[in-house]
Amino acid sequence: MQSRWMLLLALGTLVGSSPAATAQTAEPVPSLVMVGEAEQVGTPDLALVTLGVTRDGKTASQALRATTQAMRNVLDAVRKHGVESRDIQTSGLSVQPRYERPQRPGGDDRAIVAGYSASNQLSLHARRLDSLGELLDDVVAAGANEIRGLSFDVADRAKLLDEARIRAVEDAKRKATLYADAAGIRLGVIINLQEESADHEPRPMAARAGQMQSAAPVPIEAGEITLRTRVRMTWRIAN
């Protein structure tokens, strides 16, 4: 009886795995794949500035108070240049000990806390590039002793990027037509379209406060912003 059930099970397995019971593998669709690329150049009208204030003190509270007062002065200087509150953001705040290794007899080189350093970082969007150099000069004069980064962008990136997307699709169409004519085939409908990348070329800058104190205003060149996009399109090859 057991052998009979084993035989029926084996037959059922064979029937279930027969070609008639399995899904047929779809034939590959004859297609042409093409990549289109484009770039759009824009003039920056927005600057992202990251600056900071660092002060030392014998105690953590002394260092923090000194940093807080200096940052208030920096914020006053920033607002005098018309930077709105929505474009100002605290990006970092820290208080940490400073260590020293005093020379002691007997080779004891254990570190001791010599004081504290407090740091306050600020990120802001400056929309008046014609006075950006004056702004940087004023914030340094007000007490900022760190400028960690300066980069440029365009406020309406989406519009420029959309223009690049349109041109990327046109580029893919142009090349697809060229290849189809050369190969003697006819393009059918588009069966796939996807964006592979969309990015911009940044213009980063960095400087220390000490390097900037001699210039009033600080010379700034915004240059250009290049927005790039890349699309992949697939056409069905018509019979």
User: CB–CB of 134/217 below 8 Å?
Assistant: yes
Q: Tell whether 179 and 141 lie within a shared domain.
A: no
Q: Tell whether 59 and 131 lie within a shared domain.
A: yes
Q: Which residues contact 140 (CB under 8 A, 6 or more apart)?
A: 147, 209, 212, 213
Q: Tell whether 100 and 32 lie within a shared domain.
A: no
Those residues of the chain that have pLDDT short of 70 are: 1-26, 104, 106-108, 200-217
pLDDT score for 14: 36
Residue 213 in any domain: the answer is no
pLDDT score for 24: 57
pLDDT score for 137: 93
Q: Tell whether 104 and 165 lie within a shared domain.
A: no
Which residue do the tokens 């027969």 mark? 18
Query: pTM for the full model?
Result: 0.64
Residue 170 belongs to domain spanning: 28-43+156-202+221-239
Q: How far is CA 190 from CA 30, 194, 237, in A?
A: 12, 11, 9
Strands (E), 177-224: 186-201, 205-207
CATH number for position 59:
3.30.70.2970
Residue 171 in any domain: the answer is yes
Q: Tell whether 120 and 176 lie within a shared domain.
A: no
Q: Tell whether 39 and 53 lie within a shared domain.
A: no
User: CB–CB of 42/160 below 8 Å?
Assistant: yes
Cβ neighbour number for residue 162 with a 10 Å cutoff = 15
Q: Tell whether 136 and 197 lie within a shared domain.
A: no
Q: Tell whether 136 and 196 lie within a shared domain.
A: no
Residue 7 in any domain: the answer is no
Q: Tell whether 197 and 142 lie within a shared domain.
A: no
pLDDT score for 118: 96
Angle (CA) 73 125 146, round 5°? 50
CATH number for position 170:
3.30.110.170
Residue 78 in any domain: the answer is yes
pLDDT score for 111: 82
pLDDT tens digits, residue range 198-217? 775 554 443 333 333 434 46
Domain stop point among 153, 185, 212? 153
The residue among 143, 126, 148 whose CA lies nearest residue 135 is 126
pLDDT score for 112: 84
Does residue 44 have a cis peptide bond before it, meaning omega lies within 30 degrees of 0?
Answer: no
Q: Which helix (H) or strand (E) holds 71?
A: helix 60-80
Q: Which helix (H) or strand (E) holds 58?
A: none
Handedness of CA 126, 130, 133, 138 (dihedral sign): negative
Q: Tell whether 32 and 55 lie within a shared domain.
A: no
Q: Tell whether 145 and 55 lie within a shared domain.
A: yes
Q: Tell whether 162 and 132 lie within a shared domain.
A: no
Residue 49 phi, psi (nearest 5): -115, 130
Q: How many structural domains compose the chain?
A: 2
Residue 207 in any domain: the answer is no
Residue 15 in any domain: the answer is no
